[in-house]
Amino acid sequence: MNKQYFQYGSKETEYLTKKDKRLGEAIRQLGFVGRPVNPNLFQNLIYQIVGQQISTKANQTIWERMVAGMGDITPEKIHGLSAEEIQKYGISFRKAEYIKGIGEKIFSGEFDLEALNEMDDDEVCRQLSALPGIGKWTAEMLMLHSMQRSNILSYDDLAIVRGMRMLYRHRKIDRKLFERYRRRYSPYCSVASIYLWAISAGAIDGLTDPGAKLMSH
């Protein structure tokens, strides 16, 4: 299967460059940054739950194990498994229970995942947060990595906040400062997020985190 990436182009990058010189310089240095997406809402939702509070690498390893064991991950597959069987793929029992609970709600038709496509971002967040184990961060990650919503910037994402500290040389980013950047990037916050993730992961040589010492105390 061909890998799909978040779709954006010069319209978004030129807008961000005009609004923010530092981000614009990072965009110029890095060029196009491919952010993999999966348009399958159910698969991506399960992937995001698996990835809660673990590294991207660990997330990928567990996910590959699940795909190898289950094949296509669908509500039907989850319906046919117990939480104990799901846990065996290497996740916590709590996460296994969340996945089982969500799979059942979608399998039974109690929750209509596809209906999210017709809702605005805030409503998507509200609906998803009513599911077991889903908070704002998971909803935001689903909106960006599956629905390809254009204006997602998550304050709860540690790597995005770290990318901001690195780019703008702040020791700390509080909510007020974060919102200032959000307004600046809007309506293309998702593309800004993609570059901030890359910066956070070390894509720009020599760019350190001024808040690192602060975080270690």
**Tokens 């209906």, located at residue:** 115
In this prediction, residue 217 carries a pLDDT of 39
Could you tell me if residue 206 is left (phi over 0), alpha (psi between -120 and 50 degrees) or otherwise beta? Answer: left
In this prediction, residue 106 carries a pLDDT of 97
Cβ(191)–Cβ(13) below 8 Å? yes
pLDDT digits (tens, 9 = 90+) for 18-52: 999 999 999 999 999 999 999 999 999 999 999 99
pLDDT digits (tens, 9 = 90+) for 186-198: 999 999 999 999 9
pTM: 0.93
Query: Quick check: 60 pLDDT over 60?
Result: yes
User: What phi, psi does 37 have (nearest 5°)?
Assistant: -130, 160
Query: Quick check: 165 pLDDT over 70?
Result: yes
Residue 4 DSSP symbol: E
pLDDT digits (tens, 9 = 90+) for 68-102: 999 999 999 999 999 999 999 999 999 999 999 99
At 23, list the tokens.
Answer: 């981000």
Give the C-alpha separation, 180 to 185, whole Å.
9
Cβ(31)–Cβ(60) below 8 Å? no
| Mean pLDDT score of the chain | 95
Label residue 2 by pLDDT band (50, 70, 90).
low
At 109, list the tokens.
Answer: 């038709």
